[in-house]
Amino acid sequence: MELDYLMIGSRVARRRKALHQTQAKIAEQCGISDQYLSNIERAVSIPSTEVIMRLAAALDTTPDEFLVGSVRHPGNRWKTVAEKLRGLDEKQLELADRFITWVSEQNL
Protein backbone atom coordinates (compact mmCIF):
# COMPACT_ATOMS: atom_id res chain seq x y z
CA MET A 1 0.00 0.00 0.00
CA GLU A 2 1.45 3.34 -1.04
CA LEU A 3 0.54 6.33 1.09
CA ASP A 4 -0.86 9.45 -0.53
CA TYR A 5 0.78 12.26 1.44
CA LEU A 6 -1.32 14.92 -0.26
CA MET A 7 -4.46 13.18 1.05
CA ILE A 8 -2.91 12.67 4.49
CA GLY A 9 -2.12 16.37 4.73
CA SER A 10 -5.57 17.28 3.51
CA ARG A 11 -7.19 15.03 6.11
CA VAL A 12 -5.07 16.51 8.90
CA ALA A 13 -6.02 20.05 7.83
CA ARG A 14 -9.71 19.12 7.49
CA ARG A 15 -9.80 17.59 10.99
CA ARG A 16 -7.94 20.54 12.50
CA LYS A 17 -10.31 23.03 10.88
CA ALA A 18 -13.36 21.00 11.91
CA LEU A 19 -12.20 21.41 15.52
CA HIS A 20 -11.57 25.14 14.95
CA GLN A 21 -7.91 24.79 15.95
CA THR A 22 -4.95 26.77 14.67
CA GLN A 23 -1.82 25.21 13.25
CA ALA A 24 0.15 26.87 16.03
CA LYS A 25 -1.95 25.32 18.80
CA ILE A 26 -1.90 21.80 17.34
CA ALA A 27 1.80 22.03 16.54
CA GLU A 28 2.52 23.05 20.13
CA GLN A 29 0.51 20.10 21.48
CA CYS A 30 2.47 17.76 19.19
CA GLY A 31 5.88 19.20 19.97
CA ILE A 32 6.50 20.26 16.37
CA SER A 33 6.79 23.66 14.71
CA ASP A 34 3.76 25.26 13.10
CA GLN A 35 5.80 25.50 9.87
CA TYR A 36 6.33 21.71 9.93
CA LEU A 37 2.58 21.18 10.43
CA SER A 38 1.89 23.52 7.53
CA ASN A 39 4.34 21.51 5.41
CA ILE A 40 2.59 18.26 6.38
CA GLU A 41 -0.82 19.69 5.49
CA ARG A 42 0.51 20.78 2.08
CA ALA A 43 2.42 17.49 1.51
CA VAL A 44 5.75 19.32 1.44
CA SER A 45 6.99 17.21 4.39
CA ILE A 46 6.37 13.54 5.09
CA PRO A 47 5.42 12.94 8.74
CA SER A 48 6.89 10.07 10.73
CA THR A 49 4.70 7.46 12.39
CA GLU A 50 5.27 9.19 15.71
CA VAL A 51 4.12 12.56 14.34
CA ILE A 52 0.99 10.94 12.84
CA MET A 53 0.26 9.45 16.27
CA ARG A 54 0.81 12.81 17.99
CA LEU A 55 -1.44 14.58 15.49
CA ALA A 56 -4.15 11.97 15.98
CA ALA A 57 -3.97 12.42 19.76
CA ALA A 58 -4.02 16.23 19.52
CA LEU A 59 -6.93 16.13 17.08
CA ASP A 60 -8.84 13.49 19.10
CA THR A 61 -8.99 10.87 16.37
CA THR A 62 -7.15 7.77 15.24
CA PRO A 63 -4.26 7.64 12.78
CA ASP A 64 -6.58 5.76 10.40
CA GLU A 65 -8.47 8.96 9.70
CA PHE A 66 -5.31 10.50 8.27
CA LEU A 67 -3.79 7.42 6.64
CA VAL A 68 -6.83 5.80 5.00
CA GLY A 69 -9.66 8.25 5.54
CA SER A 70 -11.68 6.18 8.00
CA VAL A 71 -11.83 6.15 11.77
CA ARG A 72 -11.67 3.08 13.96
CA HIS A 73 -12.84 3.32 17.53
CA PRO A 74 -10.76 0.82 19.49
CA GLY A 75 -11.33 2.62 22.78
CA ASN A 76 -8.27 4.36 24.12
CA ARG A 77 -5.77 1.78 22.83
CA TRP A 78 -4.27 4.08 20.20
CA LYS A 79 -3.78 6.82 22.77
CA THR A 80 -1.97 4.35 25.04
CA VAL A 81 0.31 3.36 22.17
CA ALA A 82 0.98 7.02 21.33
CA GLU A 83 1.95 7.71 24.94
CA LYS A 84 4.40 4.80 24.88
CA LEU A 85 5.97 6.09 21.67
CA ARG A 86 6.60 9.52 23.18
CA GLY A 87 9.09 8.06 25.68
CA LEU A 88 11.26 6.33 23.09
CA ASP A 89 14.64 7.52 21.81
CA GLU A 90 15.43 7.79 18.08
CA LYS A 91 16.74 4.23 17.78
CA GLN A 92 13.67 2.79 19.53
CA LEU A 93 11.34 4.93 17.40
CA GLU A 94 12.97 3.64 14.23
CA LEU A 95 12.43 0.06 15.40
CA ALA A 96 8.81 0.81 16.38
CA ASP A 97 8.21 2.45 13.00
CA ARG A 98 9.56 -0.59 11.17
CA PHE A 99 7.49 -2.93 13.33
CA ILE A 100 4.30 -0.92 12.77
CA THR A 101 4.97 -0.96 9.03
CA TRP A 102 5.47 -4.74 9.12
CA VAL A 103 2.28 -5.29 11.15
CA SER A 104 0.26 -3.10 8.80
CA GLU A 105 1.39 -5.23 5.86
CA GLN A 106 0.21 -8.49 7.44
CA ASN A 107 -3.07 -10.12 6.49
CA LEU A 108 -4.32 -10.95 9.98
Per-residue pLDDT of the chain (108 residues; tens, 9 = 90+): 578 899 999 999 999 999 999 999 999 999 999 999 999 999 999 999 899 999 999 998 888 888 887 665 555 676 677 777 777 888 998 898 888 888 878 876
This prediction's pTM = 0.66
* Nearest in space to 47 (alpha carbons), one of 24, 26, 20, 66: 66
What is the pLDDT, as a whole number, of residue 3?
81
Its domain, for residue 10, covers 5-104
Q: How confident is the model at residue 70, as a pLDDT?
A: 67
Residue 23's Cβ-count burial label (10 Å; 0-12, 13-18, 19+) is: buried
**Domains identified in the chain, total number:** 1
Q: Domain holding 34: CATH number? A: 1.10.260.40
Amino acid 17: pLDDT: 94
